[in-house]
Amino acid sequence: MNPAVTSKEEILKTSRELIRREGWSAVNIRSVASACGVSVGSIYNYFDSKAALMGATVESVWCEIFHRPEDGAVFQDTLACITWLYGRMEYGCQQYPGFFSLHSLGFLGEEKSDGRRKMQQTWEHILEGLRTVLRRDARIRPDAFAEPFTVEKFADVLFSLMLSALLRQDYDPTAVLEIVRRTLY
């Protein structure tokens, strides 16, 4: 009998590595167990189904891509934050080719609802981060936001541009930075 996996994170790390090397189709209970050097039952101790494993893996990929930067100043300056986000999007595309388009399309089915929910939670976290940065940025004109042009609505626009860039695999934030400069400063 194979030894037990030491942690859920070890399983997720192995799952991410499988995705990097072989793509999303390589991730299933058996392949992850084999790559971890454990029995299938050991994986089931942490994940009750392939869907649960995939959902947790999607969440861990998003977290790896958009982990908090060492430099907290990124969240004080809108331009720095956007530049950082686009850099992380490029990193994610390099580390996980096809992730942004494949996983979002793959989680449209009902059996993938956990993965879709985790993806939406990550998106909401990023969106809330944009709102926070827009509220904290001391360089933004005091009169930049007023009804109907609110921080929330502008963050939605920035996030939509980000999602569009993900699908196009365009990681140059220059145009978005110029929109922010002309609109807010």
What pLDDT score does 110 carry? 44
**119 & 172 share domain:** yes
Mean pLDDT, all residues of the chain: 87
d(CA 48, CA 26): 18
The three-state secondary structure class of 6 is coil
3 within a domain of the structure (yes/no): no
What are the tens digits of pLDDT across the range 82-109? Answer: 999 999 999 999 998 877 776 555 554 5
**153 & 104 share domain:** yes
What are the tens digits of pLDDT across the range 140-176? Answer: 999 999 999 999 999 999 999 998 998 888 999 999 9
For residue 41, the enclosing domain spans 8-48
Q: Say how many domains are in the chain.
A: 2
33: domain CATH number is 1.10.10.60
**37 & 82 share domain:** no
Among left, alpha and beta (phi > 0; psi -120 to 50; other), residue 90 is alpha
